[in-house]
Structure 1
Amino acid sequence: MFDITHFVRTLAIWAIPVLFAITVHEVAHGWVAWKRGDPTAMLMGRLTLNPVKHIDPFGTIILPGILLLFHSPFLFGYAKPVPVNFSGLKKPKTDMVWVAIAGPAANLLMAIFWTAILWLGGHLPGTLAYVATPMQLMGEAGIIINVILIIFNLIPIPPLDGGRVAVGLLPASASIALSRVEPYGFIILIVLLFTGILWNVLGPLFLWVYHFFLAVGAG
C-alpha cells in the first residue's frame, strides 16, 4: 500500500543530496574539459549548479521516483551527460583521463562534505536538537549516493568514467579494443546489475567505503 507520508519524508531527505551529487558530477566534467581546451559545455550553459540544466527525465525523475515508490533503502539517479568534444582537448588521450576522473573526484569531495554535515548534526547543542536528526539523515543519504556514484562510475567499461580513464591510459591496441565496447556498455551493465553480479563484486567495496565515512561522521 502506498504510504504518502513515507514518500514525502524520503523525498525531503534524498532530493538535495541526489540532485547535487549528479549535478556537480557533470559540472566537474565540463569544467575540466573547458580548462583543457574544449568549451562545448560552457558554451551550452552546462557549467551551472542549476539542476534544471542537467535533468534527465528518466535518470533524474522517473528512476528515483520508482525507487521511492518501492521503498528502496537508497536512491540512485543520473543527469544528462555534459557534451565533451574530445578532439578539441589540448592532448585528447591524456586530457580524456582528467575529464573522466573529475566526476568521481567531485563525488568524493561531496561525500566528505556530507560526512561533515552528519558529524555536525550529531554535535549540535541541545537548543538546536530539532534540526539534528534531519541533518544526520541527509548527511547519511549524501554519503550513500556519492559513494555509489564514485564506485559505479569507476567501473572500467565505456562510456562510464572508469572506462574512459582506461581508454586514455592503456596502450594503443588495448585502448582501441576497449573503446569499441562503448556502444554496448550500458547493456553490459544492465545485465550485470539484474543478474546480481554487479552487487556481488562491488557490494563489499561499497559497504566498506560507506561505513568508513559513516564512522568518521558519527565520531
Structure 2
Amino acid sequence: MFDINSFLQQLSIALLPFLAAITFHEAAHGYAAYFLGDDTAKKAGRLTLNPLSHIDVMGLIVLFLTRLFGWAKPVPVNFNIVARRKHGIAIVAFAGPLANFILAIISSVFYNIFTHINTSNLLMNKILVPLTLMAVYSVQINVALGVFNLLPIPPLDGGRILQSFLPSDKQYFLIKYERYGFIIILILLITNMVDYFIFPVIHFFVKLLL
C-alpha cells in the first residue's frame, strides 16, 4: 500500500541532492565550453547554479524514481567551436560526470563527519539524521549519474568522449546513429542489463565512499 507520508518525507530529503546533482552536471558542461571559447551557454543564461535554469520536470521525476537514469535541459554547446581545441569535445563532455564525482566525494566527507558526531541532544539528532540521509542520497545519485553518463553511448557524455578520440569518418558514423542512443539506453533499463554491468560499478564506488 502506497504511503504518501513516507513518500513526501523521502522526497523532502532526496530533492536537494537530486537538484544539486543535475544542476552541477549541466553547469559544468557550460563552464567547460566557456573556458574553451564557446559562450553559447552564457548567452543562453545557462552558466548558473540556479536549478530552475536546468531542471526538466519529467527527467527529474524519472531520476528520482530510478536513482540512475534521468535528464535535465541540455546546456547548449557549439561543438564546432570546442572541437577546435584538442579533445575539446571530450573535455566538455567529461566535465559533467567529473562534477558529479566531486560532489559525491564532498558528500562522503560530510557523511563521515555527521556519523561520527556523538550527541545525546534530541534536537541535534533530529537535525543530524536528515543531513546524514541527504549525504547518503547525494553520494548515491552523483555516483550513479557520473558512471551512467560515461557509458560510450551517444548522446550520453561517454559517447561524446568516444567521439572525440575517433577518426573523422568514425565520428560521422557515431553522430549519424546518435538518435538511436536513447533506444539502446531504454533496452538496457528494460532488460535489466544495468543490473549486471552498471550497478556493480556504482555499488563499488558508493560502498567505497560510504
Q: TM-score, normalised by structure 2?
A: 0.92
1:88-112 CA distance string (max 9 Å, x none)? 2261562101000000000011001
Question: Counterparts of 2:158 and 2:48 in 1: how far apart (Å)?
Answer: 24
CA shift, 1:197, in A, is 1.4
* Alignment partner of 1:175 is 2:171: yes
* Alignment partner of 1:86 is 2:79: yes
SS of alignment partner, residue 91 of structure 1: coil
CA shift, 1:13, in A, is 1.3
Q: Are the structure 2 counterparts of residues 2 and 105 from structure 1 closer, same or farther at C-alpha, using a change threshold of 3 Å?
A: same
1:131-159 CA distance string (max 9 Å, x none)? 22112111110011001101110000111
Question: Counterparts of 1:3 and 1:29 in 2: how far apart (Å)?
Answer: 38
Question: Counterparts of 1:177 and 1:117 in 2: how far apart (Å)?
Answer: 44
* Alignment partner of 1:63 is 2:59: no
* Alignment partner of 1:185 is 2:181: yes
Q: Tell me, which stretches of 5 or more residues in structure 2 are unaligned? A: none
- Which residue of structure 1 aligns with residue 36 of structure 2? 36
Preserved CA contact (<8 Å) 2:63 2:71: no
Question: Counterparts of 1:209 and 1:90 in 2: how far apart (Å)?
Answer: 31
CA shift, 1:78, in A, is 2.2
Q: Tell me, which stretches of 5 or more residues in structure 1 are unaligned? A: 215-219
Question: Counterparts of 1:174 and 1:26 in 2: how far apart (Å)?
Answer: 27
CA shift, 1:75, in A, is 6.8
Question: Counterparts of 1:207 and 1:180 in 2: how far apart (Å)?
Answer: 33
Preserved CA contact (<8 Å) 2:68 2:145: no
User: For structure 1, which segment, 126-135 or 31-40, has the greater mean C-alpha deviation from structure 2 after superposition?
Assistant: 126-135
**1:54-133 alignment to 2 at 5 Å?**
54-60=54-60, 62-64=61-63, 67=65, 74=67, 77-89=70-82, 91=84, 94-126=87-119, 127=121, 128-133=124-129
Preserved CA contact (<8 Å) 1:37 1:90: no
Question: Quick one: which amino acid aligns to residue 113 of structure 1?
Answer: I
Preserved CA contact (<8 Å) 2:21 2:141: yes
SS of alignment partner, residue 81 of structure 1: coil
- Which residue of structure 2 aligns with residue 139 of structure 1? 135
Question: Quick one: which amino acid aligns to residue 115 of structure 1?
Answer: S
| Aligned with residue 197 of structure 2, among 195, 201, 212 | 201
- Which residue of structure 2 aligns with residue 155 of structure 1? 151
Question: Counterparts of 2:136 and 2:68 in 1: how far apart (Å)?
Answer: 12
- The RMSD of aligned alpha carbons is 1.7
Preserved CA contact (<8 Å) 1:121 1:135: yes
Aligned residues: 207
SS of alignment partner, residue 87 of structure 2: helix
Identity of aligned residues (%): 43
Question: Counterparts of 2:24 and 2:131 in 1: how far apart (Å)?
Answer: 20
TM superposition outliers: structure 1 runs of 4+ over 4 Å:
none
